[in-house]
Structure formats: structure tokens, C-alpha cells
């Protein structure tokens, strides 16, 4: 037992030394750099766009490439990540970086480089060069017919190029190869374009079911919300947007959904505040246009035109960076006082991509230029797939009304308002007014 | 028990916050880019802030800037915009000196509209702010910028000292973007996202005027020594998310690394402690060595870590070298003591003594016994404890670079307690190896002693045992001197 007291005698000074050291470290580290919460308060106040996963991929690939600059596959992965980054942040300067990384990959490995081909295809699609997207997709498919991403590139390109059957086949192949979030969401879009809203919803539910990351959950919730909103189901849409925001607070598309629902339910102040926030954080053409139209619908014309001016500048910048979007430009010009420009852009778009979107844009551009009989042919093309699109139906109804085909016009305008009574803060009231002038809904 | 306590302790700090979330954005037409250049003077803080606003937000601001609505920004409107922006910026940047906020005053503001992508313009707002502050003594300056925090863009902060010494800083001293004029552009770079800075200043001149090197790079010599397990460990301990799982994994890895560190050849610790514990001691002695090693090692790492973290000029390499020499000399001293008493008793004791549990082979304390006033009383076990504790101290005296590195990393992340816990676990791991080796030796020795062997062998064994103290004492002395010499030559 005396051994114990002997131990103590030796250990006490050591223990005191240790305790002192612990105390000193803890006390002094309070004044050391890096103490406390290293995340600045400002950063946590800003909701992330929801790209932690993507950032992790970008950092990891960059790190690897600093050590292994001759790794073609990693350059391709980085390029694809930059394309995705451009999509999420809506910042087109990432396209140049993506191109640089993908070219580097192809330079290191010029033949049989499937990953780089897929990345190039995604980049081309993102820049609305769908013909190039299709070419890259076909090349990659020839080399690697069992890669899901190949069919993703092809499906996106073919949808926009107007090859609806080819797009559906590509989506089916993608589902066969890898039934995941990317294939289910594409399947959902394809089904929606063919008017199969319920099947589209089920496909999105499947996508949501296999979504592991918050980003993917937010993505699926947004499209579920969009599907519901476009069918006029405001409660369901709101529920989806809000659930998505629980997964990724501050996600901008979901905030846009929330603002849209607010506008549709008459909470104009909330809607305007929401759009002001969204366009300040991410001034995308679509958001600027929706904000402008909402401002115009409540009579705040000068503010609305401020948004349209920014939109016009945006279009110029996109054009200067090699990304063409005649479709959006035509729509803006047609609705905001530049019929000639609208027609020119719509014709360009139709020449390049003969799909339902450009058919509708060209029909509407012809209508605002007074060429309604020409317009109707394109409105028919736009309706060919059976897409239940309120805006398309509205355009068709207005064209028919101008042609004096009152019964058909009433049917089309009624259909637009049945599909979604809130499809646009400016166009929906016009649809109602025209319908009333024609004798009310059929 | 100790190991269980170690694991239990680690459950506590796991709720500490994570590290900074990387949030990177490049420059684009949507961006609002921020630069804050801090200059710290003994009596004030000056802030040179630049806000570089890209084409689209410039256009979005136009309605507010173009007050007369003529479509262009006049010089007067630009001045007004600069004033408004700088006032807003002054309200959105905060600085504290030792926790108390300073009061900013805008001394200069300007807005210019350089051409951007034609025909659009961009905006460059520059603001000069000053705040009185008492930086005559050691002080901690914390700065945050939340101006237009919701906009995407480049965010860069720099800090320099003028007439005082910047001891450490979380940000660089010079702008890598030339104050938002030239953004580094390569395929593998990500934009800066610095929204806060912490600067530690002290009186004096000639300190770091730029950024102090991060702690990690000052310890670059570690890179050679550390294996990939250590990297994993550091990643666990320094990761952005400190979950219970990660915390526990880090603790277990700390134990493992400590255990293997003690087993590494070249330290001499294992041989020494095992010999001391096995030759003459009991299991309790083995535990004593282990406990001493843990305490010494933990205390050493904590003290050294503290010195490194507080004193920027502190060079841990030199200290480690001196500690290595000290440790070697300590071992040599124990060896010398052993040798002295062994030689003395060689002549005085019969060879049968090894069969006894209280042998005639005298512990080191016999030579040092004066310090404790209790010698060998025959009934009591020979108190070799001074030697044992000396060995334990020698074994734990040189802080393991890994443990030091982890502690510094944890302090850097504001997780001091977690770092201390990990260092303790590391020491416990070392102790576990040493104790285990000692206990094994004791058990082995007891078995051998009890086993029935021929008289001849027993006799020979006894003779060998009788010579052992001298041999091992010489060995301890030589190894101790060797360790000291190796540290002196700087190869340790």
C-alpha cells in the first residue's frame, strides 16, 4: 500500500504540470487566431444554392489534377462538374472553364475518350448548341453504349431538335442502363411533353425515391411543384416547393416556386419581395421576365421596364459568350413591344431547332406581326405532342380569335384556363377578357 | 479504464461546430466582388475596401443611381452612389479589438464606371474607412464583412501591420487579385471566399507584415515523418464535420498511432521501459511507466503546442532537438545509476539472489535514494521508482510530431478541447504499448523463474541473471548517450 503513496509523490508534480498546461492551452487558445466558430456569421446568413456535393467533386478533382495533370478521365470529370456548376449558379463563365477542362482531357487522350465526349455533349446542350450535343452523344454512344450519361446527352439534344421519338427512345435506353435520378427526371419531362401528366408525376416520385442528396431532393421537389403548378394545383405545388426548401433552404428555383404561388394566390407583396430577392441573387432571364411581368400586372410599369432592360443586356452578354437563346429573346420581344425582332429571332430558332417550343414561339411571333393564318400552322405543330401547356393553348386561342374562329378560340382559351388559371399574371387576365368578349367559356 | 475514459471523453466535444463551408463562385456577369485591405496601426485600424460590381448588378442598380433618370450616370450621381455604397459598407463591416467593436468613419468614397462587356459598364466603388483602436499592446482583431453578402462573387481580405507586429493572421498580407483588378484564372483555381479575418497583433516591428505562414507549413518537416494513417487522422480531426462517429474514430486512431509510435524502433523507449519493468519490477511498475509516459507526453505536447501557437518566432524543431538530447541524457543518467548500484552489489550479493522476489539486484533508487529518504528495508520491494519515473519521463519527453500537429490543427479550428483529448489519447496509446511490453516481460520472467528446469540450467540462468544488471545498465547508458548524440546531430 505504501507503494501507492510513493506513486502519488512522483505523479503529483506531473499531474499539476499537465493540468497547468491544459488550462493554459484552453485559456490562451481563446485569443488565438482561428478560435471559435470558423464559419463567419455572414456566410451562414446566406443560404447555399445547394451545391456542396458538386463543390466536393470540384475540389477533389482539382486537387487530383494538381498532382496528376495527365489524367484525362479526371479532366473530363472536372469539365462535367463545371458544366453542372454553370447550370446551378447560372453563371456562364463556367462554360469557358468547362470547355478548357474538357479540351485538356481530349488533348491528353484524343481517341476513345468517352467521358470527355459526354462532357462536351453536356456543354453543347447547355449552350443550346443541340446539333453539336447530338453529335457528341452519337460518338460517345458508338464507343460506350452502356453508359447512362450518353443517353442523357442524346435525350436532351433530341428533345430540343424536335426528334420526339428519338428523345423518347434515348430516355428509355437511359432508364434501361441506369434507373436513377437523372433518367427518371428525364423520363418525367418526356412524359409531360406528351401530355401524360400523371405518369410524369409518378416518374418524379420514383426519382425522389432514389434521391440521396439534399440537392437531388430539392431538384425533384421543384419539378414536382412545377408539374402541380402548371396544372393549376396551387396547394400541391406549394407543398412540394416548401418540402424542397426544407431539404435545401435558399434554393433559388424553389424560392421562385414559392413566389409564383404567392402571386397566384393574391399575395402580391410577398411575391414581389420574393422576386426582388431572387433576381438580386441570380438575375436569370426567366426570373427577370417573370418579375417584370408581375410588376407590370400591378401597374408598376417603370420598374417592370427596368427588369426588361436588364434582360436585354443579359441576352447581349449571353450572345457575346457564345451561348444563343433566340427562343427566350423572341418571347420577350413579342410580349414587350418589338414584333419584328420577335419574328426574326423565332425564325432563327425554328431554322435551328424544329421543336414544340420554337413552333409555339414562331406562332406567337407571327401573331403579333398580324400573320395569323401562318401562325395557326405553327400553333398546330406546337400542339402535336399533346403537351398540356396553358401558354401554348392561350397563344393558339388568341390566334384563332384573330382569325375570327370564335368557337375554336373559346375552346382553346377555356382549355388554357382549365389547365392552369394562374399561368401568367399578364396573359391569364387577357385570356379571361378575350373569352368574355367571345361569349364566355365553352 | 483509462482507455474507456478516453473514449467517453470524446463523446463530449463532438457537438463543436464544423469548419468553414467551402462556398466558391467564380467571376461572372452576376457577381459583386469584395476586397477589404486592413492596415493595423498602434492607434487605429484603416480599411481600404473595393467593391467591383459586374455588368448585370450594375444595370440593376442603375435605377437607384441614375437619380435624374437621363439614362447616364453623371459625375455627381457617381459621387452620390459612392457615398451611399460606402455608408452601407461601413454599416456592414465590423471589427472588434479584444471583443469590443470599433466605430468606423468613412474618410473617402468614390465610384467609377469602367467599361465592361460592350456596351455595358461595371462599377468600381472604393471606400476608405478608419476606426480608432488601441493596438499598443497585444490584441486580437476580428473582422467580418457582410456587405451584399447574398450576391455571388469573389471575397478577399488582407491584413498588414504598420508600426506593430502581426503575430498571426488568418488572411494574406497582399492581394492576389491586385485589389480586384486581375483575377487569377486557371482551370484548377477556385475564387476566394473570405468573409472574415482574425489577426493577432503585438507591439514591435519587423514581425510578419504579410500573412504568417499557417501552422501546418511551419511544421513541414513533419511531412517526411508521417505516414498515410496520420494523414487520415488529421483529416478526421480537422474535417469540416465533427460528428460523434468521426470524433470516436479520431480518438481510436489517436490511440492506435500512439501505440505504434511507442513501438517504433529507434526510440529506445520500449526496450528501456520493458527492461526496467521486466527485470526487477512488478506489473504495477509497468503501469507506472505507462502513466508517467502519458502524463509527460501530454504535458509536453500541450506546452510545446501552446508555445508554437502563441509565439510566431518559436521554432519547434530546435526545442524538439533539445528535448531529444535531454531525454537521451536522462536515459543515460538512469543507466549510470543502474550501473553504479549493480557494480556495488555484484560484489556484495550471492548469485541465488535472483530467485528471490526481493532480489539483491538493487534498483536505481539505491543510488538516488537520498532524494526520497526511504531506502531498501528488506520487506519492501526495492524501490526502483525514481528510475522508472525517469524512464517514463524520458520516454514521453519528446513530443510526437503527429500529436503536436493534431493539437495545433485543432486549436486552429477552434477545437482546443478536442485536440487536448486527442493528445491525451495519443499518450495513452503510447503508454498502452509500453505497459503491455512491461507486463509481458514481467510475466515471462515469472514463468521462467517458476518453471522446473534442471539444476544446471537454473544455475547458469542465475549466473546470467547476476550479470544482467551490469549488462543492461551499460546498455541503458550507451543507448541513452546514443539518443542524446543523435538528437545533437539533428538526425532524430
User: In chain B, what's the furthest Cα-to-Cα distance?
Assistant: 117
Q: Mean of the pLDDT values across residues B103-114?
A: 93
Per-residue pLDDT tens over the stretch A367-415: 999 999 999 999 999 999 999 999 999 999 999 999 999 999 999 999 9
Is the C-alpha dihedral spanning B69, B70, B76, B79 positive or negative? positive
The pLDDT value given to residue B7: 41
B17 inside 8 A of chain A by CB: yes
**Which alpha helices (DSSP H) does B264-282 contain, by range?**
269-280
Task: Tell me which of A298-302, B133-137, B213-217 is least confident.
Answer: B213-217
B297 close to B430: Cβ distance less than 8 angstroms? yes
More confident site: A91 or A105: A105
Q: Which three cell numbers mark B202?
A: 503585438
Per-residue pLDDT tens over the stretch B245-279: 777 777 787 788 777 777 665 455 555 555 554 45
Q: Could you identify the residue written with the cell 504598420?
A: B162
Chain B, 27 to 56: residues with Cβ < 8 Å from chain A are: 27-31, 55-56
**A3: nearest CB among B145, B284, B386:** B284
Which of the listed ranges A89-103, B267-281, B471-485 does the model predict with the highest average pLDDT?
A: A89-103
Predicted ipTM beyond 0.90: no
Residue B174: closest CA among B24, B38, B46, B42: B38
**Residue A311 CB coordination number (10 Å):** 27
Per-residue pLDDT tens over the stretch B157-208: 999 998 888 888 888 888 888 888 887 777 787 777 889 999 988 887 644 4
For residues B166 and B158, what is the distance between their CA atoms, to the nearest angstrom?
A: 12
B303 inside 8 A of chain A by CB: yes
Per-residue pLDDT tens over the stretch A308-363: 888 888 888 777 766 677 888 898 889 888 999 999 999 999 998 899 999 999 99
The pLDDT value given to residue B483: 73
**Residue contact A29–B29, C-beta within 8 A:** no
Q: What confidence tier does B291 reach under pLDDT thresholds 50, 70, 90?
A: confident
Domains of chain A: 62-178 (1.25.40.10), 192-255 (1.25.40), 268-323 (no CATH)
Q: Which residue of A has its CA nearest to B187?
A: A97
Domain boundaries, chain B: 32-212, 231-489
Q: Which three cell numbers mark A417?
A: 384556363
Closest-CA distance of chain A to residue B274, Å: 18
Q: Which three cell numbers mark A166?
A: 428519338
**Residue contact B23–A43, C-beta within 8 A:** yes
Q: What confidence tier does B355 reach under pLDDT thresholds 50, 70, 90?
A: very low
Q: Which residue of A has its CA nearest to B62?
A: A306
Residues of A in contact with B19 (CB under 8 A): 38-39
Question: What's the helix, strand, coil split of chain A in %, to 5?
Answer: 75, 0, 25
**Residue contact A46–B149, C-beta within 8 A:** yes
Per-residue pLDDT at B461 exceeds 70: no
Q: Mean of the pLDDT values across residues A136-156?
A: 94
In three-state secondary structure terms, B35 is strand
The secondary structure element, H or E, covering residue B199 is: strand B196-202
**Residue contact A93–B26, C-beta within 8 A:** yes
**A34: nearest CB among B120, B380, B411:** B411
For residues B54 and B180, what is the distance between their CA atoms, to the nearest angstrom?
A: 11
Query: In this complex, how many residue pairs, one in chain A and one in chain B, have their CB atoms less than 8 Å apart?
Result: 201
Residues of B in contact with A15 (CB under 8 A): 295
B79 inside 8 A of chain A by CB: no
**Residue B287 CB coordination number (10 Å):** 19
For strand B196-202 and strand B123-132, is the pairing parallel, antiparallel, or unpaired?
Answer: unpaired
B144 inside 8 A of chain A by CB: yes
The pLDDT value given to residue A200: 94
Burial annotation B190-224 (CB, 10 A radius, 16+ → b, else e): ebbbbbbbbbbbbeeeebbbebbebbeebbeebee
**Residue A229 CB coordination number (10 Å):** 22
Average pLDDT, chain B: 71
A51 close to A88: Cβ distance less than 8 angstroms? yes
For residues A99 and B184, what is the distance between their CA atoms, to the nearest angstrom?
A: 18
Amino acid at each position: 500500500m505504501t507503494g501507492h503513496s510513493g506513486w502519488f509523490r512522483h505523479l503529483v508534480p506531473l499531474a499539476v504540470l499537465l493540468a497547468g498546461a491544459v488550462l493554459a492551452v484552453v485559456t490562451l487558445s481563446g485569443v488565438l487566431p482561428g478560435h471559435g466558430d470558423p464559419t463567419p456569421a455572414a456566410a451562414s446568413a446566406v443560404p447555399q444554392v445547394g451545391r456542396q456535393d458538386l463543390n466536393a467533386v470540384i475540389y477533389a478533382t482539382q486537387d487530383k489534377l494538381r498532382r496528376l495533370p495527365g489524367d484525362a478521365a479526371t479532366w473530363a470529370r472536372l469539365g462535367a462538374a463545371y458544366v453542372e456548376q454553370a447550370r446551378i449558379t447560372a453563371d456562364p463563365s463556367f462554360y469557358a472553364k468547362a470547355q478548357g477542362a474538357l479540351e485538356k482531357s481530349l488533348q491528353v487522350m484524343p481517341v476513345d475518350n468517352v467521358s470527355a465526349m459526354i462532357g462536351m455533349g453536356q456543354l453543347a446542350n447547355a449552350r443550346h448548341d443541340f446539333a453539336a450535343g447530338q453529335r457528341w452523344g452519337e460518338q460517345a454512344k458508338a464507343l460506350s453504349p452502356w453508359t447512362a450519361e450518353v443517353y442523357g446527352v442524346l435525350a436532351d439534344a433530341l428533345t430540343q431538335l424536335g426528334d420526339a421519338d428519338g428523345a423518347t427512345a434515348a430516355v428509355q435506353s437511359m432508364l434501361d442502363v441506369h434507373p436513377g435520378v437523372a433518367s427518371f427526371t428525364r423520363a418525367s419531362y418526356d412524359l409531360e411533353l406528351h401530355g401524360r401528366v400523371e405518369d410524369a408525376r409518378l416518374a418524379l416520385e420514383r426519382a425522389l425515391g432514389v434521391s440521396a442528396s439534399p440537392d437531388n431532393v430539392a431538384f425533384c421537389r421543384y419539378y414536382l411543384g412545377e408539374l402541380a403548378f402548371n396544372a393549376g394545383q396551387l396547394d400541391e405545388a406549394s407543398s412540394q416547393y416548401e418540402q424542397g426548401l426544407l431539404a435545401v433552404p435558399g434554393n433559388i428555383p424553389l424560392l421562385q416556386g414559392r413566389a409564383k404561388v404567392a402571386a397566384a394566390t393574391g399575395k402580391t407583396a410577398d411575391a414581389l419581395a420574393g422576386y426582388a430577392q431572387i433576381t438580386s441573387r441570380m438575375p436569370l432571364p426567366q426570373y427577370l421576365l417573370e418579375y417584370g411581368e408581375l410588376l407590370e400586372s400591378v401597374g408598376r410599369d417603370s420598374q417592370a421596364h427596368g427588369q426588361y432592360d436588364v434582360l436585354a443586356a443579359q441576352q447581349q452578354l449571353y450572345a457575346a459568350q457564345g451561348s444563343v437563346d433566340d427562343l427566350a429573346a423572341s418571347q420577350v420581344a413579342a410580349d414587350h413591344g418589338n414584333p419584328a425582332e420577335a419574328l426574326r429571332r423565332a425564325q432563327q430558332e425554328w431554322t435551328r431547332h424544329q421543336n414544340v417550343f420554337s413552333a409555339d414561339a414562331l406562332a406567337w411571333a407571327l401573331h403579333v406581326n398580324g400573320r395569323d393564318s401562318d401562325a395557326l400552322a405553327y400553333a398546330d405543330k406546337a400542339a402535336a405532342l399533346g403537351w398540356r401547356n396553358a401558354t401554348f393553348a392561350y397563344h393558339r386561342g388568341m390566334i384563332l380569335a384573330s382569325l375570327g374562329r370564335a368557337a375554336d378560340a373559346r375552346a382553346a382559351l377555356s382549355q388554357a384556363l382549365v389547365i392552369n388559371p394562374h399561368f401568367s399574371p399578364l396573359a391569364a387576365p387577357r385570356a379571361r377578357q378575350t373569352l368574355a368578349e367571345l361569349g364566355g367559356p365553352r | 479504464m483509462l482507455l474507456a475514459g478516453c473514449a467517453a471523453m470524446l463523446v463530449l466535444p463532438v457537438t463543436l461546430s464544423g469548419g468553414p463551408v467551402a462556398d466558391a463562385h467564380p467571376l461572372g456577369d452576376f457577381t459583386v466582388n469584395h476586397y477589404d485591405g486592413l492596415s493595423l496601426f498602434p492607434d487605429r485600424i484603416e480599411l481600404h475596401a473595393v467593391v467591383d460590381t459586374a455588368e448585370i448588378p450594375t444595370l440593376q442598380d442603375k435605377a437607384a443611381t441614375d437619380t435624374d433618370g437621363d439614362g447616364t450616370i453623371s459625375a455627381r450621381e457617381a459621387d452620390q452612389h459612392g457615398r451611399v455604397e460606402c455608408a452601407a459598407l461601413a454599416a456592414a463591416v465590423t471589427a472588434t479589438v479584444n471583443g469590443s467593436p470599433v466605430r468606423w468613419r468613412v474618410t473617402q468614397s468614390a465610384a467609377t464606371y469602367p467599361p465592361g462587356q460592350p456596351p455595358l459598364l461595371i462599377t468600381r466603388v472604393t471606400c476608405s474607412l478608419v476606426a480608432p483602436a488601441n493596438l499598443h499592446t497585444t490584441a486580437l482583431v476580428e473582422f467580418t464583412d457582410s456587405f451584399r453578402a447574398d450576391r455571388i462573387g469573389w471575397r478577399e481580405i488582407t491584413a498588414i501591420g504598420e508600426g506593430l507586429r502581426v503575430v498571426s493572421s488568418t488572411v494574406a498580407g497582399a492581394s492576389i487579385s491586385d485589389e480586384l483588378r486581375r483575377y487569377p484564372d486557371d482551370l484548377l483555381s477556385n475564387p476566394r471566399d473570405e468573409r472574415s479575418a482574425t489577426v493577432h497583433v503585438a507591439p514591435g516591428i519587423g514581425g510578419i507584415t504579410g500573412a504568417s505562414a499557417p501552422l501546418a507549413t511551419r511544421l513541414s518537416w513533419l511531412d517526411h515523418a508521417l505516414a498515410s494513417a496520420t494523414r487520415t487522422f488529421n483529416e478526421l480531426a480537422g474535417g469540416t464535420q465533427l460528428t460523434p462517429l468521426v470524433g470516436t474514430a479520431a480518438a481510436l486512431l489517436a490511440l492506435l498511432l500512439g501505440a505504434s509510435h511507442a513501438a517504433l524502433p529507434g526510440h529506445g523507449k520500449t526496450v528501456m521501459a520493458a527492461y526496467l519493468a521486466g527485470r526487477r519490477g512488478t506489473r504495477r511498475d509497468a503501469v507506472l511507466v505507462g502513466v508517467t509516459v502519458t502524463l509527460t507526453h501530454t504535458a509536453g505536447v500541450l506546452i510545446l503546442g501552446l508555445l508554437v501557437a502563441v509565439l510566431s518566432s518559436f521554432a519547434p524543431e530546435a526545442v524538439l532537438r533539445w528535448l531529444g538530447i535531454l531525454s537521451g541524457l536522462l536515459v543515460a543518467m538512469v543507466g549510470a545509476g543502474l550501473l553504479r548500484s549493480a557494480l556495488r552489489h555484484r560484489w556484495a550479493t550471492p548469485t541465488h539472489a535472483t530467485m528471490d522476489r526481493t532480489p539483491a539486484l538493487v534498483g536505481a533508487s539505491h543510488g538516488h535514494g537520498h532524494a526520497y529518504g526511504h531506502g531498501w528495508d528488506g520487506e519492501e520491494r526495492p524501490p526502483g521508482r525514481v528510475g522508472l519515473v525517469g524512464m517514463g519521463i524520458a520516454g514521453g519527453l519528446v513530443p510526437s510530431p503527429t500529436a503536436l500537429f493534431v493539437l495545433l490543427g485543432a486549436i486552429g479550428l477552434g477545437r482546443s478541447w478536442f485536440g487536448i483529448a486527442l493528445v491525451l489519447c495519443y499518450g495513452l496509446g503510447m503508454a498502452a504499448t509500453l505497459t503491455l511490453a512491461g507486463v509481458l516481460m514481467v510475466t515471462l520472467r515469472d514463468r521462467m523463474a517458476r518453471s522446473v528446469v534442471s539444476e544446471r540450467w537454473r544455475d547458469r540462468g542465475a549466473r546470467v541473471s547476476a550479470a544482467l544488471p551490469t549488462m543492461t545498465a551499460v546498455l541503458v547508458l550507451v543507448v541513452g548517450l546514443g539518443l542524446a548524440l543523435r538528437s545533437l546531430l539533428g538526425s532524430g
